[in-house]
A and B are shown apart, each in its own frame.
Chain A
Amino acid sequence: MAGRQAVKAYLDLVSQACRAMLIFLKHNKIPHTVENIAIRKGQHKTPAFTKLNPMQKLPVLEDNGFVLTESDAILKYLATAYNVPDHWYPKLPEKRARVDEYTAWNHTNTHINTSSIFLHEVLLPCMGQPTNPENFEKVLADLDGTLDKLENMFLKNQPFLCGDDISLADLLAVCELIPTCLSSHGLEMDILKDRPKLLSWRNRVQSALSDSFDEAHSVVYQIREKFTAKLSPC
């Protein structure tokens, strides 16, 4: 890796995928610089950023001229190119397939459902838009279904989602499942609060990631504090 420059990460830490990427870079001590792109200020739609990523989405990785989007692809590329411990993205095909399975499922399950909760509980009220209780009931039911599957199909009786060791799957999932905010009733909303198995799993993952986890989540903790102080998070 002589002469190789640090990778550049374009991030907004409000985004779960961006947090996952930052944690991975820090935890594995991959040399990197961070360029903060504020979605709420429309910085992902500037001509310069659009030239970098016409999809206008985050995160984006730039590695010595190689530009890559989509958090799954970025994490898998980093795991391969930077020679991190095998458990993150195992080389053995059967073990790797389990991680690929989770990352594929994450898109249309964990991610969509947790994003809907955030939308209803934080973004819509923030924008002064009314929330729809019926819609919200459905969103909660969908999320419940996702959490059932996480427990019973992925986690089962193993300590991590894809086996005995932490992998990219746990990293992506945990960033979706931290307690983000207070509900509109002023109660702390931890969607895992009645699920001891998933709570234990989350603690295990947080322990494995230690400081890099808290650093990446500082923005989310700040939003939560503003809610606690009953100030607008916007």
Chain B
Amino acid sequence: MAGRQAVKVYLDLLSQPCRALLIFLKHNKIPHTVELIALRKGQQKTPEFTKLNPMQKVPTKLDICGFKNCNYCYYDAILKYLATTYNVPDHWYPKLPEKRARVDEYTAWHHVNTRMHASTVFLQEVIFPMMGQPTNPAKFEKALADLNGTLDMLENMFLKRQPFLCADEISLADLLAVCELMQPLCSGRDILKDRPKLLSWRNRVQSALSDSFDEAHSVVYQIREKFTAKL
């Protein structure tokens, strides 16, 4: 990797996948620089950013040595690319096909389950009121019910016989999941509080990630303080 420059990442730490990416970079000591984008200020819609990522989404990674074209990498593609290219410990994204397939299975399921439902709860409880939009109690109840269904699946299927979602060791799956499940905490809501199995899992993941976890989640803790102080 001689002569290879640091990767540059564009992130908004309020975004769950952005936090996952930052944690992965720090934890694995992958040389990187961070450019912060504030989604709430619409900075992802500026001409400069749109040229980089026409989808106007974060995170975006620009490997200035590797990629020739503009990057619009989706977050799990970025993590898998980094895990492969930067020679991190195998457990993050195992090479053995059957083990790798388990991580791919979770990351596929994640999009329309963990991510979709945890985000919806967060949007309705924190973002909509912040933007002065009316909340819809029926929709919110449904969002909570959907999230509960997801948590049941996580406990009863992925964590059925093992300490982490896909294996005996932490992987990209746990990283993505934990960042999503931290998001509702912005309102002070701990969705795992009555679920000892998931609480243990979260503790295991946090221990494995140590400092990089808390650094990345500082913005969540700050919002939680502001939110609960208002109540």
Contacts and interface: CB of A to CB of B under 8 A. Distances in A.
Contacts of A68: 101, 105
Q: Taking chain B's interface residues, is the majority helix, strand, or loop, or is none over half, making it mixed? A: helix
B74 A73 contact: no
A52 to B, nearest CB: 12
B104 A72 contact: yes
Given A54-B157, A55-B153, A72-B108, A104 B74 contact: yes
Interface in A54-79: 54-55, 66, 68-74, 76-77
A100 B101 contact: no
A105 interface: yes
A107 B112 contact: yes
A80 B108 CA distance: 17
Contact of A108 (B66, B85, B102, B111): B111
B104 A70 contact: yes
Nearest to A108: B111
A152 to B, nearest CB: 7
B100 interface: yes
Interface in B156-176: 156-157
Given A77-B104, A94-B67, A105 B84 contact: no
Interface residues of A, number: 30
A47 to B, nearest CB: 16
A68 B80 CA distance: 19
A97 B81 CA distance: 6
Contacts of A103: 108
B54 to A, nearest CB: 5
B104 A153 contact: no
B108 A107 contact: yes
A138 to B, nearest CB: 17
A80 B100 contact: yes
B111 A73 contact: no
Interface string B105-142: 10111011000100000000000000000000000000
5 contacts: A68-B105, A69-B109, A73-B104, A77-B98, A107-B111
